[in-house]
Each structure stands twice: as structure tokens, then as C-alpha cells.
Structure 1
């Protein structure tokens, strides 16, 4: 999936891997997918904004907490794609001169910082520590000589005409602008339009897609393994993919898995559910859906994490995952959500959330959507009903980004 694999823990801070809850609690995060010229995800950009309701936290501590937050519970590896950290209003402190990060983490610097000699010296020392940097431009354009110290330029696609380094273009709010930015020579896009339906017309479900929906329903009903086995047996391609997954490095334990029943047992219902949702999403042949698939996985994992953080049982967490992971199926398939879910037999709470935006899972969905919007005030409003601290919400997002990365890596 990604184009810049680092070492498994290269550059991670040596101290206690637990993120500082005070630092994470002071942040409002906003994430965007980075999309390469082949229309596939190449990483993520994270904006870090000060929530403004507590004491100022040094930028080095904020960045450390975010980096550690990806792997805090050790359930997922550190993301393999680019991780572009973009502090919007954090004060640069002297400790930044000694800050280090994994090789695939880049620090986004606003062009205005180049006018401050103290900040320039700190940035220079940070580069000596191996921290790679990207320069964010708006109205003021730096000299070409300044650009040589940065790996990327973050700004409008028009910067391609004069920049001597790869451009990460911000022109991604519509499909037309996104395509134009890539055609103009942008190295990648920051963000991806999700308001344009990709499928030109509604399509009937294939037999394999219907089988996946049936398997999801059976797992939700906690059916026995034999019931799932019968569905897999009727779809040889799905059965082959299941056995391939069970024998992958991520799941294989000892002797090869040769039976469908053994494969289901070794993977487990919870992970099998997530894999089935992913397979359903990628069953479309449209090459432009990869960013949407990544987005739906992040939504699903983040909703599940939020639900568990709120003290709800795992079964509700699983249902939250389905809500998030199915939230863009209408855009991907060209069918209405009502048509997609009308004959599937999923629990009413899932259907209500996806079709009518009502029910117990909507507050979690609203929070997840706000993490994509970048509207700090709206984010604060939708977080209130969950009564979760900001650090729990931020941890949920960071772990979701890492989990989505790991899930796509299985394909």
C-alpha cells in the first residue's frame, strides 16, 4: 500500500511508550489521507491544534505523545506510510532541537517560521537529528535556496511550476480539482473528495458480495463455525482468500491451515468481521476507491475504539466498526444505503445509524466525521455527548490510523 516502509520501530522515542495524557488532552486532531499519483493512499496528514482550555504544552511533548499514541496498546505496528505532523498553533520549544521520530514521520513547518532566526536554528538542529521536514506555504513563497532543506512542499498545486521539491497539493475538495492537481504534476494530494459518488449507476450485488453480507450477519448473530463454513464453501474464491489469510504471517501458527473451519477458528470472529468488511469494500473494480476504503477503515476502527473507551461491551464496539466501515458504501457502489442494507438483516442499530442517522451509534459516528472536517468548534460540540476526555478521543483516532494501515497491508 505505502511507498516508504521504515524499520519496525526506527526512531521511536526510547522512553516509556505510553503517550502523555496531558499532552494529548490539550490537542484537537484533524486527519487527512495522502493520495499518490496512482490514486492509492501513501500516508496521512495530522493537524495538531491547541484546544485552548489548559496550560500550554511544549511542542516536543505534543509530538512525542502523538507518535507514541499510534502504538500505545501494542496491538498494531507503527504506520508504514508517510505521517505528516502539522502543528498549527504549537509554540516551538528548545527541546525540538533534540526531538527525533521514525524515518517516515515528517514535521510540517509553516513558511512564516523561516522569518524567525531562533526557530530556524532549532529546525536546523532537528534536521541534524534525522527529522525530515515539509514546508507549508500559503501567500508567501520562499526562495528556491530555502527549499533544499525540505523533503516536500505543502500548498496549492500551482506551486509545482516553481518548486524544486515534490509538492503535496491541497487542491482536493472536488474530484475535478484533485485530478487537475495530479495532472499538473503534484506528487500527492492532501485529502480526497468523498462527496462525489464514484459508481455511475446502481449495480446488483454479485454472489460473492451477497455471501459476504450473509457472513457478516452470521457473525453478528454469533452463529456456529459450521454455518460460516457452509457459506464459504459455496464461494470458492472467498474460501481461497480465507485460507490465504489464515496462512499469512499475521495469523499462521505452526502447521499450515488446510480447512475452512480451522481458518475461521484461528482468525477469530472479531478479526474475520473486519476482514470481510474490507473485502466487501474492495470488491468494486474502480481504482479510485482506495482512499475511500482507507477512510472507511479508519472510521470503523475509530468508532470501535471510542465505544470501548466509553465502557460499552465489545459487541457494541463491533457494531460501531460496521457502521464506520459501511459509511461510504453508497459512494463506492452507487447504490443507496437503504438498498444496500434492506435485505442484509443487520442489527437495527446499525441500519438506523447508516440510513437515518439516528440511534445509539450516531454520537460515535459524529465524532469520527468531525475528526475529518477540521472544524474545531463543531468537533467540540459533537464530543460532548460521549463525555470522553480529549486524550481518549485522540488515542482512538491514532490507533485507528495504525490499524487501518495494518489491515490494508494484509491484501
Structure 2
């Protein structure tokens, strides 16, 4: 039996979203909450989980579509570097107040906040930013949330004009739970609203496939050593979790690419070593609580290598062989994730040839997949039919299968 290469997380992250609406109750954005905080006591790690979810799903209809995404942050995580991976145009970073707003501490954190805003991120603050101690932050505010459950009407009458006089921020009436609170906020001219009166936070079903931690560490080490693209590509190829998460991210709308990325090599070249390092470090934090090994993921890795070798034996070019590898690797994605294969593939953004093979059973990649699965199941009839269609002999096929098994064994031994 091939040793495990990938693990599945025992439970998906408990991420919820709540809409923020305008005066016509049209959604302008969603706030993302981490409801797994009891299992993630480190606030920076909790933020990483939220950001990784945003990174993998921003632009996806199931979370935000084209709306803004408000992400709660901690000061510990703001300088962590993983925000470099996100598209600032769609992100609003919610900045918490300091426990004790000493003037020197407020001033010390100002450069980080200013840098994030200069990068294109919008910044949101609670109404405590209107306290005198936070005056240096106020000019950076794009949004200010006023807690309707904590502020009396007379207090709103002071804070709203003050905020408008000293900042250009849009004001959000937060925690609006009753029609009376909504009317009060509107009376003071507030035009953005959030709270249970409009919608309660709804759980988001995230898809996060956890790679083996040893593989992530191996990737991180290669990136720190500025290894070549080929070495990095080999690490990605041997772990379905790494491959899934990278292709999910690179093809998300948040990356803003004009066309889908179809190969690991292209993904590495587009991201570059620095951003890929950030991503790997982020993935390591977000998936460090892995579950038991999955034989499904083991099978996917062997199948991918076998299909790549068979493609080359059948005279296909390097790009087709790479697509064959991707087809094999993601052919069991529905078993790795709790969802059907079609929407799972849509998350990754595979080439049309791969999609046709996996969903319609069409094209030469589909025949390679049939041959690979026949090798696994000892289905002689399917084996003979696929072999004839691809003009491959038994010696070629068996040799490729042995090479694929040996390759997987070698990968496992290197851990």
C-alpha cells in the first residue's frame, strides 16, 4: 500500500457571512466571520483562516460575487504578509481598537495601516476610532461602524456629525436589530446598515483540502532556497491538496487574471517565488489541524502520474501530458470534497479538455482515464478497449503503471 500523501480536514472551517446593505436594502458587501475561534485561540491564526477563505472564494458567487468583502483582522496579522495575495479592490479590512489606546501605540501602528490603504485596501473601524486618541487613524477610514446596540440616540446625534466633519468615511449602522434602530440611524443620515433586521450571519460551506504538512514544509523550504520551477512543480504534483488549493486560488476572480491558468508551471511563474511563499505559509497555518490520512488522495496521486506517463507513451505532447496529470489528480475530487464533481471542478478552473474528460467522458484524456482506472480495478475488457484506442501495448501500460507506483513510493520515502 502506498503511504498517505494527503489528509482531509476533520471538519470544514465554520465561516459565516452577513450582508451590509444600502438605504434601498441592496447588498453592497458581506462581512466574513470566523465561528471556529474556540478551536483557534490564536487571533492571528484565526485571521489567516478568514483571509485564506477569502483568497480561495473571493469572486465566487457562493460568497460575495462582485460585492465587497469585509474581513475582520487583528493587529497581529496585519503585518504578516499574506494580505499581499489578495486583490485589494474587493477587500475591506476591519481594524479593531487597541485595548488601551495610548497615543504612542496608536502612532506606532499608523504606518502599517497607511501602507495597506496605499496598496488599495479599504479600512473599516468601529466607532471608537472617533475617540480623540485615535485621531491619526481617522483620516484613513473608508468606513466607520456605529454599534446601534450600544449607542443611545443622543450619542448618535453627536458622533455622526463629528465623523462627517473629520473624515470622508461612509457610516455603517451595525447590529441593527429592530425597525426603530433602523429608523433612528436613517434619521441621522446613515445610509449603510448591517444586522439581524436584514439578515443573520449565514454559514458558508468552504472547500479547503488539507495537504500533508510535510509537503507544505518541503515547498516552503524550496521557495526559501529559491529553487527552480521544475523542483517546485514536482512538490505540487505529489499532493492533491496542494494542487487543488493552488489552482483554486490562481483561478479565482480575486486574482483578476484574464484567462484561466491550466498548469502548475504557469501558476508558479505567474505568482512568483515571493507570493507563492506567502501562499504556502498561509496554507500551512490554515490547514495545520489535519485529520486522518485519505486513501482516496493516495490513489489520485498515483493515477495522475500513470496518466501522464501513458500520455507520453501515446505520443501526446508535454501540454497534453500535463493535462493528463491534472485529469488524474482531480478525477477523485468529488470524493475528497463533500460535493459533486462538476461544482468541485468549477472551483479549480480546469482546462476544457480536462472538464470534458471528467464530466462527459469525451476526448483522448477520457480514454487515458478509462485505462488508468482499468489498471486499478483489473477490468480486462475496459483495459483492452482503451489500450486499442490509444494504440498502446500491454508492456507499455504495465511499465508505466509500475513507474507510477515507484514514483509514489519514492515520494513517500522522501518524507
TM-score normalised by structure 1 residue count: 0.38
Structure in which a larger fraction of residues adopt helix: 2
TM-score normalised by structure 2 residue count: 0.38
